[in-house]
Copies of this chain bind each other. A is one copy, B any other.
Amino acid sequence: MVQMSAIGRTTMETRNVGSERRFSAEKMQKVNLFETERMFADIYCLEPGQEQKRHAHSDADKIYFVIEGTGRFHIGDEERDLGPDQIVLAPANVEHGVRNESRARLVLLVFMAPNPNKRESPVTS
């Protein structure tokens, strides 16, 4: 039986991506917007020279959408500079990362599914 009120959220969850952005001279900042066990949405904020090092997720897909600036994206065997309005898929099991090689700030909207940080109990416990 589907419980239509199981989640118990009663208010509309909204964020403003413009006002949520946050930078640090120390390292790339990740600001979480939403998360459920099925996915998360973050903003990544990179000062010039900062990066998210290359890594892979065995069973989760990631999407990067460029909001501001230009990022040098590495996905699989390819590396490409992407700017505003461009969106890219980093499929599960594929190594990916992004560096800000520009002189301006880089802001990315990032989605990942499922959420590796908040996984439901595995079926094969």
Check if A104 is an interface residue, CB within 8 A of chain B. Answer: no
Check if A44 is an interface residue, CB within 8 A of chain B. Answer: no
From B4, B19, B65, B111, give the contact of A93 (CB < 8 A): B4
* Chain A residue total in the interface (Cβ 8 A): 51
Q: Which B residues are CB-close (under 8 A) to A7? A: 91-94
Q: List 8 A-B contacts (CB under 8 A).
A: A9-B94, A14-B88, A15-B87, A17-B65, A34-B87, A39-B39, A41-B111, A111-B111
Residues of A within 8 A of B (CB): 2-7, 9-19, 33-34, 36, 38-39, 41, 56, 58-61, 63, 65, 73, 75-78, 80, 82, 85-89, 91-94, 109, 111, 113-114, 123
